[in-house]
Amino acid sequence: MQKLNLVQAVNLALKQEMEKNDRVVVLGEDVGVDGGVFRVTDGLIDKFGEKRVIDTPLAESAIAGVSIGMALYGLRPVCEMQFSGFSYLAFHQIESHASRLRGRSGGRFHVPMVVRMPYGGGVRALEHHSESREVYYAHTPGLKMVIPSTPRNARALLVSAIRDPDPVIFFEPKAVYRAFREEVPEEEETLPIGEPQIVRKGKDLTLISYGAMMRPALEAASKLEEEDGVSTEVIDLLTISPLKHETFTESVKKTGRAVVIHEAPRSFGPGAEITARLVEKSFLYLEAPIRRVTGFDIHMPLFQKELDYLPGVARILKAARETLDY
């Protein structure tokens, strides 16, 4: 089986869906001739032409709004925000219309569009290029918010996102873009949206995470096993919204202890929602407070300090051990 990195895996998903369905179109800044600033859409314009792989003017609201129009008509636009930090110009269109048109039209219209965005830190980028604001989208009813963590699941989730009848915000962890390669089958593969996965089974502690934080989470789980003899269950959310909590609420009923890990700032972050659900559903099983290992309630600093901002294995281990010792 071929080994692909996340960039190549997303490229494969786009290529195959565009081959399968003439109505899938790609649009965004630099996605065509340049193949995308991260090369995620590389080669698509040569295969599918400039009517289907569209280099747009520099206008994020237009990218989103035009995609909405295309989707209302019946195309399947996969648009790109060059960085999640620039998507706020498009947010108005997404919240005010993409998330609402199904309801507003009594089901006559729906908006089957995908908005892809690189998100998150760890690549020594400029200001605005390392944000993790998934909650803005997760907090908007009528959208789906998907965050893959590996090449294989990114490919499978993107295919599902393109086929989804509703708007899907697809955050790609840029720190993982070229971090590693994984076997990705050439044959079509999908993963259902809204289904977290248990990626490591265990019985003493539950780690809940997603995106680029899955690697330090899994590394911490290994260390806990080697060094502490602790058996850790690790859950990859894959979909932030709709948030299906059973995977983690049932896990914590088994382990009694939970640590949530995300890059996004702590307060009002996804960890807060996960904590609330755990308290609602698994309260009597909790042996320790639920811990959140997160970015701080500040903007991501310029890159010299980003590794001190981002949660890493050490920070996760500390919180895990404190939870186990409680």
Catalytic positions are: 129
CB of 34 to other proteins, least distance (A): 17
Footprint on this chain of other proteins (rule: CB under 8 A): 25, 51-52, 54, 56-57, 59, 61-62, 64-75, 77, 89, 92-93, 96-97, 101-110, 141-142, 144, 164-166, 194, 242-245
Provide, rounded to whole angstroms, the least separation between the CB of residue 89 and other proteins: 8
Nearer to other proteins, 107 or 229 (CB): 107
Look at the block and give the residue holding tokens 């960890």. 271
Does residue 122 come out as left (phi exceeding 0), alpha (psi in the -120 to 50 range) or beta? left
Closer Cβ to other proteins, 159 or 175, answer by number: 159
- Residue number with CB closer to other proteins (193 or 258): 193
Nearer to other proteins, 110 or 155 (CB): 110
Min dist. Cβ of residue 79 to other proteins (A)? 10
For the CB of residue 106, give the shortest distance to other proteins in the complex, in Å: 3
| Residue number, 52 or 133, with CB nearest to other proteins | 52
Residue 129 CB, nearest distance to other proteins (Å)?
A: 22
Minimum CB separation of residue 109 from other proteins in Å reads 7
CA–CA gap between residue 89 and residue 108 (Å, rounded): 27
Q: Which is nearer to other proteins, 97 or 174 (CB)?
A: 97
Tell me, letter by letter, the H, E, C secondary structure of the chain.
Answer: CCEECHHHHHHHHHHHHHHHCCCEEEEECCCCCCCCCCCCCCCHHHHHCCCCEEECCCCHHHHHHHHHHHHHHCCEEEEECCCHHHCHHHHHHHHHHHCCHHHHCCCCCCCCCEEEEEECCCCCCCCCCCCCCHHHHHCCCCCEEECCCCHHHHHHHHHHHHHCCCCEEEEEEHHHCCCCCEECCCCCCCCCCCCCEEEECCCCEEEEECHHHHHHHHHHHHHHHHHHCCCEEEEECCEEECCCCHHHHHHHHHHCCEEEEEEEECCCCHHHHHHHHHHHHHHHHCCCCCEEEEECCCCCCCHHHHHHHCCCHHHHHHHHHHHHHC
- Cβ atoms of residues 270 and 262 within 8 Å: yes
